[in-house]
Amino acid sequence: MPTVPLSETVASLIPRARAELAELVSFASVADARQFPKSECEKAAAWVAAALRDEGFQDVALLDTPDGTQSVYGFLPGPAEAPTVLLYAHYDVQPPLDESAWLSPPFELTERDGRWYGRGAADCKGGLLMHFTALRALKEHGGVPLNIKVIVEGSEEQGTGGLERYAEEHPELLAADTVVIGDVGNFRLGLPTVTSSLRGMVLMEVRVATLEGNLHSGQFGGAAPDALGALIHMLASLRDETGATTIDGLDGTGEWSGLGYAEEDFRRDAKVLDGVELLGNGTIPDRLWARPAVTVIGIDAPPVVGATPSVQAAAGALVSLRVPPGFDVGKTARALTEHLRAAAPWGARVEVTLRGSGQPFAADTFSPAYRAMAEAMREAYDEEMAVAGQGGSIPLCNTLATLYPRAEILLIGLSEPGAQIHAVNESLSPQEFERMSLTEALFLLRYAASQSAGQGV
């Protein structure tokens, strides 16, 4: 065993992790074949499988899941009596959006101002390498004292449920005593955080049709039913005048008890322009973590350049609706569908199609593994562990909690506010990567020790 501290071993592993992150980021693994060739996801999956084999994992497999994407699985056996820990990450990423708005190419990991830029650097390819770095450090310090399963999903960002359905059909596969989801992040840079709640999400496409074809807006406008106008009217009905989400049948009065989030901190994290107001009411955590929130994330309508003076015959939108723990996404999807139908003016024809969904999740942060995590975070950061909510979604969490009700589920990761995940110029803080890798290694050690003590060994 080396005499150097674990922190130094982790530090010595960073150059390798960075080189591997550059390889992983080079795959445009967006799990939407309409936007990127499927081969990019296949290359990323193959990379993950090879990396698991190199680490000594057994039973490494590319799992064909029902949504057509592959998840990668591997098992690293530990001491016979040791508990099993499942480590989760996803290799798929969000599309780069406007590539010209990136200061460096989205699929080339680039260092700038002390951060590593690239699509998926923080969400969640860095999370996968955090798991690897923690395991490698432990191997240099006497071995990994646990049975480790790794599962790396290929369509998390789509909400199409491939791995969730696969896990339900193979309930033994991901069984574990404890799960570490490496796909969330610290409340702010340098503040070690576990996430106690995730919102669920419904992704709904709405299409409106009113005419057989577009019409001259001078000759017909004023009486001809305008499909884009109808859509705007329907979408506007999803909020009140403060901007709070108001969907018939959905309670918007939930309150968050726990960590606070000052308005000025939120304004800074969200980069809100001076003079522009925030939406909704209640505290910021109420709005982010305890209430439904609707966002129109895409509209099919003529772009301004090239638009003609026409009344539109058809229009469409994609709507994202987040709901906190306590809501069921099936019921939420029905409420949204009915609300949109009821809000359609002028007898416009409306088609509403569910495109994706995931259930919300609430962790039991008083379970024993959280004590080990609190110790690990304190040691790695010299700061007390914070417990925060999170408004984003990771649908598999609910599936795991349902399949394995006794498993402890911990959510950590690299997506602090500065990472700007899902936006252009996503980046990873290398310091955060190093400290979170150390945190995870320390956690695995402490957790293994606490379990063997608990068993009276």
Region near ligand BES per CB under 6 A, out of 44-52, 179-187, 323-331, 346-354: 179-187
Q: Alpha-carbon distance 155 to 332, whole Å? A: 22
Q: Applying CB under 6 A, does 44 fall inside the site for ligand BES?
A: no
Q: Are 411 and 198 in contact (CB under 8 A)?
A: yes
Q: Tell me if 403 sits within 8 A of 75, measured CB to CB.
A: no
Nearer to ligand BES, 184 or 224 (CB): 184
Cβ nearer to ligand BES, comparing 184 with 206 = 184
Binding at 432: pick from Mn ion, ligand BES, none (beta carbon under 5-8 Å per type): none
What's the one-letter identity of residue 51? A
Secondary structure of residue 355 in the 3-state scheme: strand
Contacting ligand BES within 337-376 (CB under 6 A): 356, 358
Q: How far is CA 424 from CA 279, 329, 441, in A?
A: 23, 29, 31
162 binds ligand BES (CB under 6 A): no
- CB of 415: closest distance to ligand BES in angstroms? 4
Site string for ligand BES, 112-151 (x = CB under 6 A): -----------xx---------------------------
Q: What are the φ/ψ torsions at residue 124 (nearest 5 degrees)?
A: -145, 25
**Residue 193 in contact with ligand BES, rule: CB under 6 A:** no
Q: Tell me if residue 314 falls in helix, strand or coil.
A: strand
CA dihedral 439, 440, 446, 449 (to 10 degrees): -160
* 390: partner contacted, choices Mn ion, ligand BES, none (Cβ within 5-8 A by kind): ligand BES
Binder of residue 185, out of ligand BES, Mn ion, none (CB less than 5 to 8 A by kind)? ligand BES
By three-state DSSP, how is residue 122 classified? Answer: helix
Please give the positions annotated as active site.
92, 156
Q: How many whole angstroms separate alpha carbon 133 and alpha carbon 123?
A: 16
Of the residues 283, 415, 425, 429, which one makes contact with ligand BES according to CB under 6 A: 415
Q: How many residues does the chain have?
A: 457
Q: Which does 164 bind (CB under 5 to 8 A by kind): ligand BES, Mn ion, none?
A: none
Q: Establish if 183 lies at the interface with Mn ion (CB under 5 A).
A: yes
Which of 67, 92, 123, 416 is close enough to bind Mn ion by CB under 5 A?
Answer: 123
- Alpha-carbon span 153 to 392, nearest angstrom: 17
